[in-house]
C-alpha cells in the first residue's frame, strides 16, 4: 500500500511539473489505511489485538489526528470490538498505527466482519474503508464429524444443534451426490452439549451397498460412533 501511495504522489507530481516547471509541488492532504482487507483469528471465548498502519501523502511538523469510524457494513457485535475513535500520525512522519481489539462475540462458524473508515473533512481526502474478517481459531481442539457413506449419500441429511436448540449447521438430504464415499467437517465450537441428528430418506441408514458410519470427536478424542444401521434416522448428544 505504501508503494502505491508513493506512485500516486509521483503521478500527481508529474502532472504539476508538466503544467508549470516553476511551480513547487504540494502533496495532497490525503490519508488511507495501509490495507483494505485482512483476516483476524480469535481463540474461542478469547480476544486479540490487531495493528493496522495509516499513511498520509504528506509530512508536516506537528502531530495530526484523524477520526476513525466503525462503518455500517460491520456485522461483528458492538461488544466484540474496541476501536479507538482517532488515530495519530506523529509530526515529521507520514505514518501512524491504529491498534484495536476484537473478541469472540457470537462469531459462530462463519465469523463476522469489522469495517473501519477514516473521516473525510474539509480538504482532507481519504482512501477506501478497511474490512477485517474476524473468525474463530481452535488449532488442536477442533470438533469434527467424519462420515463414511454407504453408496447412496444423497439420501443422507444431518444437523447439529446446541443445548438451546439453535441450529449450528444443517445439511439437507440431496446435498451429497451418490457415490460420495466420505465427508469430514471441522468446526470451532465452545464447550457445551450438542445434539447431532442424522436422517436417511430411504430408511436403511448407511447400509447398502457398503456399511457406513459417523464418528464424532473433539480435540482428537472420539466422543460417539454411530453405526450405519440406524434406519430412517437417529440422534446423539455429545458434551465436551
Residues 8 and 56: beta-carbon distance below 8 Å = no
Q: Which of 95, 111, 137 is the C-terminal boundary of a domain?
A: 137
Question: pLDDT tens track of the chain, all 240 residues?
Answer: 554 554 444 444 444 444 454 456 677 899 999 999 999 999 999 999 999 999 999 999 999 999 999 999 999 999 999 999 999 999 999 999 999 999 999 999 999 999 999 999 888 999 999 999 999 999 999 999 999 999 999 999 999 999 999 999 999 999 999 999 999 999 999 999 999 999 999 999 999 999 999 999 999 999 999 999 999 999 999 999
Question: Could you tell me if 150 and 228 are in contact, meaning their C-beta atoms sit under 8 angstroms apart?
Answer: yes
**Domain stops at, among 109, 137, 165:** 137
Indicate the residue among 137, 153, 184 that finishes a domain. Answer: 137
Please report where in the chains the cell 509530526 appears, as a residue: 91
Domain carrying residue 35? 2-137
- Determine contact, residues 134/112, Cβ cutoff 8 Å: yes
**Cis bond before residue 156 (omega within 30° of 0):** no
Question: What's the pTM value of the predicted model, to 2 decimals?
Answer: 0.80
Write the CATH number for 199. 2.60.40
Q: How many domains does the chain have?
A: 2
Q: Assess whether 104 and 24 both reside in one domain.
A: yes
In eight-state DSSP terms, residue 106 is S
Amino acid at each position: 500500500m505504501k508503494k502505491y501511495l508513493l506512485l500516486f504522489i509521483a503521478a500527481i507530481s508529474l502532472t504539476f511539473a508538466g503544467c508549470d516547471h516553476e511551480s513547487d509541488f504540494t502533496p495532497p492532504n490525503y490519508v488511507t489505511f495501509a490495507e483494505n482487507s485482512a483476516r483476524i483469528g480469535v481463540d474461542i471465548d478469547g480476544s486479540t489485538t490487531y495493528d493496522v498502519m495509516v499513511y498520509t501523502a504528506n509530512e508536516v511538523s506537528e502531530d495530526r489526528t484523524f477520526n476513525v469510524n466503525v462503518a455500517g457494513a460491520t456485522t461483528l457485535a458492538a461488544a466484540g470490538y474496541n476501536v479507538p475513535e482517532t488515530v495519530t500520525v506523529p509530526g515529521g512522519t507520514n505514518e501512524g498505527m491504529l491498534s484495536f481489539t476484537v473478541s469472540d462475540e457470537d462469531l459462530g462458524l462463519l465469523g463476522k466482519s469489522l469495517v473501519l473508515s477514516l473521516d473525510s473533512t474539509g480538504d482532507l481526502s481519504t482512501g477506501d474503508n478497511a474490512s477485517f474478517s474476524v473468525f474463530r481459531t481452535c488449532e488442536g481442539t477442533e470438533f469434527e464429524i467424519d462420515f463414511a457413506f454407504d453408496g447412496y449419500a444423497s439420501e443422507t441429511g444431518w444437523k447439529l444443534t446446541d443445548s438451546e436448540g439453535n441450529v449450528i449447521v444443517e445439511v439437507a438430504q440431496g446435498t451429497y451426490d451418490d457415490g460420495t464415499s466420505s465427508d469430514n467437517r471441522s468446526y470451532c465450537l465452545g464447550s457445551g452439549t450438542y445434539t447431532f441428528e442424522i436422517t436417511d430418506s430411504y430408511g436403511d441408514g448407511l447400509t447398502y451397498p457398503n456399511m457406513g458410519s459417523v464418528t464424532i470427536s473433539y480435540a482428537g478424542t472420539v466422543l460417539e460412533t454411530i453405526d450405519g444401521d440406524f434406519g430412517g434416522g437417529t440422534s446423539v448428544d455429545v458434551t465436551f
